[in-house]
Amino acid sequence: ERERERDARYVREGRWGILLFLRSHLISSHPLPSPPLSSPVSLQMLPTTSRGRAAPSNGRPAATFPHYLRRIVKWQQMDIEYTFWQMLHLCTSPKVVYQHTKYHKQTKNQWARDDPGFVVIFSLFLIVAATAYCAAYSKSAAHAISTVISVVTLHFFVVGVLLATCFWLLTNAYLREESPNSHVVEQRVEWLYAFDVHCNSFFPAFILLYVLQYFVSPILVAHGLFPALLSNLLFMVSISYYNYLNFLGYDVLPFLEKTTFFLYPIGLVIILSPLMILGGFNPTRYFMTWYFS
């Protein structure tokens, strides 16, 4: 019996020995390629489609926008100091602001702000400015309330959403560079970033057309050539600076080309302003009459 067990063990060992021999022989003859442990290649660099271009990257809007909306009601999570720093430098050195946008892309992997503090503070500024105008020119409380609501909702959000959507569609459709490598992930302008660019561009215009204009409005609403001249100059500078900041906001994106398109409206404003001055058109008096007549 012990001899039978010994013979069976020898048979099993013999079979495993043959299998191990064949396996080692096949692997040595046809080794399988395997990347080194220190290989810099990552899974994100591999193509995700079988043919054509890789799927475009849109900055994960489905994950970003709901998170952005949730943070609006969380005041303690907003970086108020950085918001005021941005507002100051948008009026003095806007290129510095968009240089920080590059750092934000490197650290957060998105171009758009994830902090809604800028939008919240800007909305409060608009409410204060509209209230000041209503206190000086409105004739009833109901009219004042409707004016404040229309300024915040219409001037800021509705117009901002429309302009951001137009620029978002325009840049993604016509201004993106075509990559020669079919396996490079295509980058796209995030809609939330387009809205950020509008908010950044609108803030200096707010300072000129809402704050400064309020203090000099008694002069600007008067009749005559001089008030019309000052009013048109104020609007010309505001609109031109708005378009210039739009240009800076999209020019910082490395995958866009021909961003000088955003500077073209400045030439149109420069051409139309002298014509409106000679025609006696006063934009300040026009809008003040529209809201408070």
- Does 7 score more than 90 pLDDT? no
What is the pLDDT at residue 106? 86
Does 143 score more than 80 pLDDT? yes
* pTM for this prediction: 0.76
Q: Provide the pLDDT for residue 114.
A: 86
The residue extents of the domains of the chain are: 76-292
How far is the C-alpha of 34 from the C-alpha of 30, rounded, in Å? Answer: 12
pLDDT tens digits, 175-192: 998 766 656 677 899 999
Structure tokens at 235: 């609007």
Of 240, 241, 231, 238, give the one whose Cα is nearest residue 279. Answer: 231
Q: Between 182 and 231, whose confidence is greater? A: 231
Alpha carbons 114 and 62: distance in angstroms, whole number: 13
Instruction: Give the C-alpha separation, 179 to 104, whole Å.
Output: 24
Query: pLDDT tens, 34-73?
Result: 444 444 434 333 333 333 344 444 444 444 667 666 667 6
